[in-house]
Amino acid sequence: MKTNTIILVLLLAILAPSCQNDDDPIPFEPFKDIVKIMSSPTGLEAYKMEVYMNEDPFVGFNYVYVDIYDSISGEKASDWEVTYAPLMTMMMDGNIMKHTCPVEQPIYDTKLKAFSGASVFIMPTTDMGNWAFEIKYKNTHGEGSVTVELTVVEKSEPALLSFLSESNPDMKYFVALINPATPDVGVNEFELGIYTKESMMSFPAANGLTVTIEPEMPSMNHGSPDNVNPTGMGNGRYKGSVNFTMTGLWHVNMIIKEGTNMVASDKYFVIEF
């Protein structure tokens, strides 16, 4: 009996490589190199939750995908209400302090067949502070949450800039580089996420800003033609394009204004490929 089962499983694996196994009944593979962060029962009936990211969590804009499905029938919980609540607990001057970070609340993506949102981690995990990523869910049967501890690392070239507005020193801004995620020679999509800090628990998206970009190759003292300034798309996102005429180390200089007020005139992302 057991041998038959093993043979059957092997046969299924050979005949249908994408066939599901008991451990992972609904493979979620929207991207090639996606990272599975965790898998957990939700506590509601047979529903299981799986959390995925494009790469290990880093300081900057991280897409976070949540797949919730009935582990018996395979049915997706597409109509559930899902919210993300990241929280850092850190020691500061001998006191315990808690804060969140900018978040794009997830919506169900019918193409991915999973909830898709984002978390903009503003600090790395250290000995003095750690991130707990809580995923709250609600459906007609009840509600609850699953929390996953995340180790957030700083990238070698920062993917997030934080600074005070040049015209308003009470206003803190966070600018995340979303794209190009994989830069290449030629025209690349250039996308930013811009947020402010209202309080330790509120980091709203900053819409209505004017962003001007100018790429520069500092080692060779040249720029590039045909760049398109990013324009607001809502949710604090700004999309344009940047033209890298050769490989190497580039600075993408930015001027950010709110109306006539200067927010930043000397900030840039370093992109090397």
Sites of contact with Cu ion (CB under 5 A): 88, 90, 123, 129
Burial class of residue 268, CB neighbours in 10 A (0-12, 13-18, 19+): middle
Shortest distance (Å) from residue 123 CB to Cu ion: 4
Of 197 and 237, CB closest to Cu ion? 197
* HEC letters along the chain: CHHHHHHHHHHHHHHCCCCCECCECCCCCCCCCCEEEEEEECCCCCEEEEEEECCCCECEEEEEEEEEEECCCCCECCCCEEEEEEEEEEEECCEEEEECCCEEEEEEECCCCEEEEEEEECCCCECCEEEEEEEEEEECCEEEEEEEEECCECCCCCCEEEEECCCCCCCEEEEEEEECCCCCCEEEEEEEEEEECCECCECCECCCCEEEEEEEECCCCECCCCCEEEEEEECCEEEEEEEECCCCEEEEEEEEEECCEEEEEEEEEEEEC
Six-digit token string for 228:
């398109």
CB of 97 to Cu ion, least distance (A): 7
- Give 44 or 152: the residue with its C-beta nearer to Cu ion: 152
Structure tokens at 205: 């998206």
Say which amino acid occupies 2: K
CB 60, min distance to Cu ion, A: 15
The least distance separating Cu ion from the CB of residue 203, rounded to whole angstroms, comes to 12
Between 90 and 148, CB nearer to Cu ion: 90
Specify the residue, 90 or 164, whose C-beta has the smaller distance to Cu ion. Answer: 90
Question: Rounded CA gap, 56 and 35, in Å?
Answer: 7
Q: How far is the CB of 174 from Cu ion (least distance, A)?
A: 13
The rounded radius of gyration (Å) of the Cα atoms in the chain is 22
Distance of closest approach, residue 119 Cβ to Cu ion, in angstroms: 13
Pick 72 or 97: Cβ nearer Cu ion: 97
Nearer to Cu ion, 90 or 270 (CB): 90
Specify the residue, 86 or 106, whose C-beta has the smaller distance to Cu ion: 86
Whichever of 173 and 250 has its CB closer to Cu ion, that residue is: 173
* Minimal distance, residue 273 CB to Cu ion, in Å: 30
Q: How far is the CB of 155 from Cu ion (least distance, A)?
A: 17
